[in-house]
Amino acid sequence: MSEPLLSGRVLLVSGGTQGVGGGIARAAVAEGATVVVTGRRTDVGEAFAESLGEAATFLACDVADVSQAQGVVATTIERHGRIDSLVNAAGLTSRGTLLDTTPALFDAHVAVNLRAPFFLMQAAVADMVRRGEPGTIVNVLTMSAHGGQPYLAPYVAAKAGLAGLTRNAAHAHRWDRVRINGVNIGWTQTEGEDAVQREFHGADDTWLQKANASQPMGQLGQVDDAAALVVLLLSDRSGVVTGSVIDWDQQVVGGQD
């Protein structure tokens, strides 16, 4: 029997209490990692961490606040002695077009979708470099970063910035053996997506059935499948790859019918 992919690793997952982040946390625990998950809702976060067993703990954090974001990295290191891996999965998806986005909405997207990952990576990489040990980071991105929908203008702007940051940081720290990659997640079936469809698109109880039927593979992306790819990228099994931003979707960018 082969050793679990993340055996002995200490992993921090921002936004790790539900959706894709939650799936990554579950998969990482199953692969032997000690996992710290963050989120804004203490009741949800503590219940989720408890469901994962003794290998998981929850830290309340609003990643839009840089001091809180870097604070959870510091607490992780204090409790476990180090941080080996980081996943930036926290995200804001509220709607806005080029014409109706306010400065406040734009700043909120930048704060959660770009600034938070920047400073979480800063704190995590600093520990890896200080110890002289390798590390891995995966940033959860979006297929919309290629251009996206008109109603996601500030979201796209921030996530496209994160794609560039992923490559920049990977290049900067490759000689430190810190591998940093990103995954552009396509349309995926999550609790959050259900809420978004109902709140912003007037969806009813049949939306998922219709959405599945509209996809080439007959279903939306599944959280566990996305999580498996992220865990692979966090592990030694992905080899030397760094600076890659992988499209995880059934739509092909640039393809035309």
List domains and CATH numbers for the chain: 10-247 (3.40.50.720)
Residue 231's pLDDT is what? 98
DSSP the chain: -PPPTTTT-EEEEETTTSHHHHHHHHHHHHTT-EEEEEES-HHHHHHHHHHH-TTEEEEE--TTSHHHHHHHHHHHHHHHS---EEEE-------B-TTT--HHHHHHHHIIIIIHHHHHHHHHHHHHHHHT--EEEEEEEEGGGGS--TTBHHHHHHHHHHHHHHHHHHHHTGGGTEEEEEEEE-SEE-HHHHHHHHHHH---TTHHHHHHHTSTTSS-EEHHHHHHHHHHHHSGGGTT--S-EEEESSS-TT---
Q: Is 155 a catalytic residue?
A: yes
Cβ contact 156:113 at 8 Å: no
Q: How far apart are CA 163 and CA 133, in angstroms?
A: 24
Amino acid found at 255: G
Catalytic: which of 63, 155, 234, 238? 155
- pTM over the 0.85 mark: yes
Residue 56's pLDDT is what? 98
Residue 1's pLDDT is what? 67
Locate 234 and state its tokens. Answer: 């966090």
Residue 201's pLDDT is what? 86
pLDDT (tens, 9 = 90+) of the chain, 257 residues, equals: 689 999 999 999 999 999 999 999 999 999 999 999 999 999 999 999 999 999 999 999 999 999 999 999 999 999 999 999 999 999 999 999 999 999 999 999 999 999 999 999 999 999 999 999 999 999 999 999 999 999 999 999 999 999 999 999 999 999 999 999 999 999 999 888 888 889 888 889 999 999 999 999 999 999 999 999 999 999 999 999 999 999 999 999 999 88
